[in-house]
Amino acid sequence: MELTRAPFMPENPPGKPATWFTEYHGPGTGLTMKVLRTLYSAKSAFQEITLVETEDFGRVLLLDGIIQTTERDEFVYHEMLAHVPMCAHPEPGNVLIVGGGDGGCVREALRHETVEKVTLVEIDEMVVDCCREFLPGIAGGLDDPRVEVRVEDGVKFIEGCEEAFDVILVDSTDPVAMASPLTQVSFFRKAKRALKPGGLYAAQSQGPVFEGHRMRRITRRIRRVFPGAATYLANVPTYPGGIWSFALAPKSRRTDVRAKPRALPPDEKTHYYSPEVHAAAFTHPPYVAEILG
């Protein structure tokens, strides 16, 4: 990752340029953030891991220079990836999370009283270690006794696992390089086999503004394997276009994933998710419906 410098910022006194990081969403569009300091920077066997403290979004985790999560807006992505499937399931007990080494989805899944076990399968141990140290508010749930953290390849894990899950959440990086196998039909078939009857699969499925082609491709592959799959949307301010999509796919096509969701325990306060948001998130603007086809 390059930390670019933008010395023309009005708030930077002359001769004292601040460090700015820019993530490019398209050839001519980027989100730029003022970086106060870099807390962690390392190259693992899989990717470059960078943890920076920013002016507006708190601490930000970058993998290969792409924003994965920020302290300020992580609640949107994690609540929506976890609670929509978890609340669509009548009694989620055994949960598998593939990727998501920051622990955000684990934290949210644990808020459901029915959960007995959460297995996190993350390929890159250095991501887990970095987040445990620098993002304790996100990674804190990893120490819960109900959680098992396994450092291994999610594809291999799901091929070999003898367990069956009520809910499988795939919290992966963009579907290039390392994460590409997690968006293939062969993986979706294995995930479907690893679900209990009545089980639900959910995954981030890219955004419609800059990644429409990826969103369409991934969604079509998921639907080939899970004919009952549906797409829902959320506003993630730091993701390209500010809007992100998720696929919710039931093992049985007869499961209505848009049925009235089960409620979270009343003392579990959420900031983005609510039963009303759950229902509204499945509504697509016509331009999004057109991408999905």
Q: Using the rule CB under 8 A, is 28 a contact of its own copies?
A: yes
CA torsion angle 75 76 79 84 (round to 10): 180
> Min. distance of Cβ 46 from its own copies in angstroms?
21
> Min. distance of Cβ 228 from its own copies in angstroms?
20
Q: Using the rule CB under 8 A, is 26 a contact of its own copies?
A: yes
- Binders in 65-104 for its own copies, by CB under 8 A: 73, 75-76
Q: Using the rule CB under 8 A, is 280 a contact of its own copies?
A: yes
Pair 204, 218: CB distance under 8 Å: no
| Distance between CA atoms of residues 133 and 102, nearest Å | 10
- Binders in 223-252 for its own copies, by CB under 8 A: 233, 235-237, 241-243
Select the span of 22-30, 123-131, 162-170, 222-230 touching its own copies (CB under 8 A).
22-30
Q: Which is nearer to its own copies, 40 or 282 (CB)?
A: 282
The residue assigned the tokens 């639907």 is 223
Radius of gyration of the chain (CA): 19
> Min. distance of Cβ 60 from its own copies in angstroms?
11
**Residues shown for the chain:** 293
Q: Using the rule CB under 8 A, is 12 a contact of its own copies?
A: no
Instruction: Map 83-146 to HEC letters.
Output: HHHHHHCCCCCEEEEEECCCCHHHHHHCCCCCCCEEEEEECCHHHHHHHHHHCHHHHHHHHCCC
Marked catalytic residue, from 64, 171, 174, 267: 171
Is 171 marked active-site? yes
Q: Using the rule CB under 8 A, is 274 a contact of its own copies?
A: yes
DSSP-derived letter for residue 179 is G
**Cα–Cα separations (whole angstroms), residue 276 to 56, 84, 86, 262:** 29, 11, 15, 12
Binding residues for its own copies, rule: CB under 8 A, are 2, 4-6, 8-11, 22, 24-34, 54-57, 73, 75-76, 209, 233, 235-237, 241-243, 269-274, 276-277, 279-281, 283-287
Name the residues annotated as catalytic: 171
